[in-house]
Copies of this chain bind each other. A is one copy, B any other.
Amino acid sequence: MPKSFTEDQVIDRIEDMRRRRPRFEDVHITMSHGAGGKASRQLVEGLIVPLLTNPTLEALGDAAVLDVDGLGLAITTDAFVVSPLRFPGGSIGELAVNGTVNDLAVMGARPLALSAALILEEGLDVEVLRAEVQAMADAAARAGVAIVTGDTKVVERGKADGMYVATTGVGRIAPGVRLGPDRVRVGDRVLVSGTIGDHGVAIMLARGQLDLEADVRSDTRELWSLVSGLLAACGDGLHCLRDATRGGVATVLNEIAMASQLGVVVAEDRLPVRPSVAGAGEILGIDPLYVANEGKFVAFVAPEVAEQAVATLRALPGGEDAALIGEVRVEPPARVLGRTTFGGHRMIDVLVGDPLPRIC
């Protein structure tokens, strides 16, 4: 269990570290660099972004935003290397489409078109491929978007674990919609669109390496229908959205806190966690706050629309378990504090290390 700190103690810790630009000093790539936490951030911000330097990339949103003659376009890309390819509640093809649609959705962008690049392993059973392409088609149809272009490569037996998928999405941002951490204000309420940790725990269990059985299914689903409902209900009161994938809700909250230089205080007893996920997490020693989701976002909304936002989400399929979980304060700047059930506080830092590789 995490230790409890007073708020002041928490604020004083690792102050310097958080303000520095991440440096990348590793010599070899490790699994941690792909886990979505600190090591990933160091790789991306310390090595890749400085080399590719351009202002759009440096914004480091879930999707890049372009203005083309007044037309707001969002572009996002993701590689999917999840293992196993199929798991309770979904599969790599469904994940690839939903993940990309969701990165557009949280920028407030309606998906216009998707592309898919498949890297297939020699010897892959064609029925496995067929099932995944069908899963992609079905997921795209549910999100109201088409896969308009693609590419297929084959690598030798033993590589690529059956298949990897890279999807890219192009979306359109409605005029006037602008979401981002720079719009987050003190007093904003923080909500999640549903239960947390389902996807990551489902994958861990599906690997069958643990002596544990539990009925946990991935939450993979498209989020555009929920986001469009929220945009309609909250208007300008919707300030920032992030989908809580690798690194989980804790990492997303930290990213927003760092980008806004404001504090996020989370009421831990309000976090919606399924009992099966909580139970599995306890046995595995994993906090659901750090576990990947594939159909959940975190929203920052103005206080006056917060109740309406939750009510709107709860009335939509996939948003039934939406909950207010916290608020934005001046203190602690650039940090996330958890208020525990017993009145204590703990610092909720970004994910360190790699408890859950190959989760998406």
Contacts and interface: CB of A to CB of B under 8 A. Distances in A.
A64 B29 contact: no
Contacts of A189: none
Interface of A: 24, 26-35, 40, 43-44, 47-48, 51-54, 56-57, 61, 63-64, 66, 68-69, 71, 73, 75-81, 112-113, 115-126, 129-130, 133-134, 136-137, 140, 146-156, 158-161, 164, 166, 168, 170, 172, 357-358
B113 A75 contact: yes
A115 B168 contact: yes
Contact of A30 (B40, B69, B80, B122): B122
Contact of A146 (B54, B71, B112, B164): B54
Contact of A40 (B43, B133, B146, B152): B152
Contacts of A77: 115-117, 149-151, 166, 168
Contacts of A155: 34, 81, 161, 164, 358
A152 B42 CA distance: 12
Contacts of A136: 51-52
A81 B117 CA distance: 11
Given A120-B33, A122-B30, A159-B161, A151 B75 contact: no
21 contacts: A24-B126, A28-B123, A30-B123, A33-B152, A34-B153, A48-B152, A52-B137, A52-B150, A75-B115, A76-B149, A77-B116, A77-B117, A77-B149, A77-B150, A78-B151, A79-B153, A117-B168, A119-B119, A119-B164, A154-B357, A164-B164
